[in-house]
Structure formats: structure tokens, C-alpha cells
Structure 1
Amino acid sequence: MSDQRADFTAFYDATWSRTVACAYAITGELGAAEDLAQEAYTRAWPRWSRISSYDEPAAWVRQVATRLAISSWRRGRVARAFLVGSREPDPVPGPDPDAVSLARALARLPVEQRRAVVLHHLGDLPVREVAQLEGCPEGTIKARLSRGRTALAALLGENRPRSTDGLEGSRV
């Protein structure tokens, strides 16, 4: 181990508890104080050749830990003030019952039919693009769409006639 590293290790061992105690006096939390002390030593290490020549290198580390603790406390105070001053969020309306029914019905379809229906009717993709995405012929997609629409109609309790383009011009 190099002399500088051994010197810093001895310094760390000798001053750790006092540095933690100073940070603890500000934070009131041992874990936070230890984190702040560790950060102070981490900042001291690259500057050790200069800091080690100070009359009180431990005072430098304690000051860094103290300043970090104060900065953390200030950030927390600002955050708390913001939260206290914030208004309650506007209530979000629940999902549309029709959308819930559709989602439940779609979940009951076979996966291939569900993908075809969702990509074509909800995703606005033409049959040709759905076929490319699914890696199968357009006729297969048309069959999946037909079967999927028939199954959806039964699941949703719809008994009205289907148009040739899908779900009677609706976006579902």
C-alpha cells in the first residue's frame, strides 16, 4: 500500500466517528450522517495531498460533511414547502364502463384474434400492415378479424348486424 493511501486510511480510522457525530448533530439520523461522512471522505481522497498538509485536515472533512448535511436539510425544507403549498390533484374520473367491458371482452378472445382486432380497429392499421406484423397472409388476418368481431359481439351482448368494415364505423 502506498504511503499516501496508508496515511489516508489512518486518518479515516482516527476521525470517522467524530465526523459522523457532527453530521448526526445536524441530521438526527445515523444512517444519513454516515452517508454524509462517507461523501466527505470521498471528496477528501482526491485532494489528500493538499488537505494532509493542513493544520487540521479533520476539520476540513467535518466542514464538508456539515455543509452537505445543511444542503440536504435545505433541499428537504424547500421540497416540504413546495408540497405543503401544492394543491390537491384534481380527481381523475374512473374508466368508461364501455371501455372496461370492451377490455374484458378482448381479454377473452384468443390471442391471435385479439391482436388482429386491436391492431386493425384500435390501432388503425390496414389489413395488409397487420398481416405483415403478424407474419401471415392477409386472408388469415381477415378470418381472425371476422371471428374476433363475432366473438366480441357475443361477449358484449350485441345482436345488431355487422357491417363489412368492422364495428359499424365505431372506433371500438
Structure 2
Amino acid sequence: MSDFEAFYRGTAPRLMRFAYGLTGGLAEAQDFTQEAYARAWQRWSALQKYENPEAWLRLVVTRLATDWWRRLRVRRAEPPPEPDVVAPPDEELMILVAALRTLPIDQRKALALHYLLDQSVADIAVEMSAPVNTVKSWLARGRASLAATLGEHSHVN
């Protein structure tokens, strides 16, 4: 076992507890502990000669946590961005979505991929793990069902 590995095994649990105490978050504590050991590894030839190399690790974690808290405070001090104003969907879109919901899922997915995402029949076949002719059938049947449903709706108005 190398000197660094022995140092790591002997100090890591304590450093992790220290980092957790500073941050209050497990993910941050793990990140800062890992970063401190990465920096220690890069400087190990000099660091191992220190009287207390573990104190150096705590200093690194403290600085990382301080920077993290500072960034967090700045983000919280900024006013939240104004939400984008999104117009409500128009009636035609609502009617189309309602009509799509009446279709079997394979037809609905094929239509959405083809017309909303501009995918080719071949690409849809690959994505849906279906033969090309089956996709063509789904598209044709889906269009026919939509036309009938939407035609019925236009007669009601």
C-alpha cells in the first residue's frame, strides 16, 4: 500500500464528516472531499512532509465550502427571472390533441414522430422496432381516423 493510499484510508472518514458538517449536504461533502484528495495527490511529494497534512485537507475543504456558500448566497440574492408569458393553446390545437388521444398509441406515436418531429418512415420504423410497412399503415390509419374525428367536429360547430 502506498503512503498516499494509507493516508487516504486513515483520514477520509474524518474529512468526509468535516465536509458534511460544513455543507450540510452529502453530495457537496463528497464532492469537496474528493476534490481535496485530488489536490493532495497532485502535491503529495511536498504534502507528506508537512507536520499535519490532514490540516491542509481541511483547509482545502473549508475554502471549497466557503466558495460554494458564497455562490449560493449570490444566487439567492438575485431576483428570479420573469417567467415567459405563454399564450394559452388555441381551440384548434385542443381539438387536435383530443382527436389524437382517441387513436391507438402506436398510431399516435407514429403521427407525432412523423409530423411533429419530421422523422422519416424508416426512422420511425427503427425507433418503434416495427417494419416500414407497419409504420406506413399506422400513419394511413391514424390520418384517416383523425380526418373522420376532425370532420365530425367541424360539422358540430
TM-score by length of 2: 0.60
- The answer on 1:89 being equivalent to 2:76 is no
Measured in 2, the distance between the counterparts of 1:59 and 1:86 equals 39
Partner of 2:15: 19
Partner of 1:101: 95
Identity of aligned residues (%): 45
Change (3 A) 1:152 1:59: closer
Match of 1:68 among 64, 68, 75: 64
The CA deviation at 1:87 is: 4.5
Matches within 5 A, 1:21-170: 21-29=17-25, 32-82=28-78, 85-108=79-102, 111=107, 115=111, 119=115, 144=140, 148=143, 151-156=145-150, 157=152, 158-159=154-155
Q: Which amino acid aligns with 1:99?
A: L
- The answer on 1:9 being equivalent to 2:5 is yes
Kept after mapping to 2: 8 A contact 1:44/1:51:
yes
Aligned residues, how many?
140
Moved more, 36-45 or 16-25: 16-25
* Alignment gaps of 5+ in structure 2: 126-131
TM-score by length of 1: 0.56
The CA deviation at 1:36 is: 1.8
SS at match of 1:67: helix
Change (3 A) 1:29 1:154: closer
Measured in 2, the distance between the counterparts of 1:87 and 1:106 equals 35
Q: Which amino acid aligns with 2:149?
A: L
SS at match of 1:94: coil
Query: In angstroms, what is the RMSD of aligned CA positions?
Result: 4.2
Kept after mapping to 2: 8 A contact 1:109/1:148:
no
Q: Which amino acid aligns with 2:35?
A: E
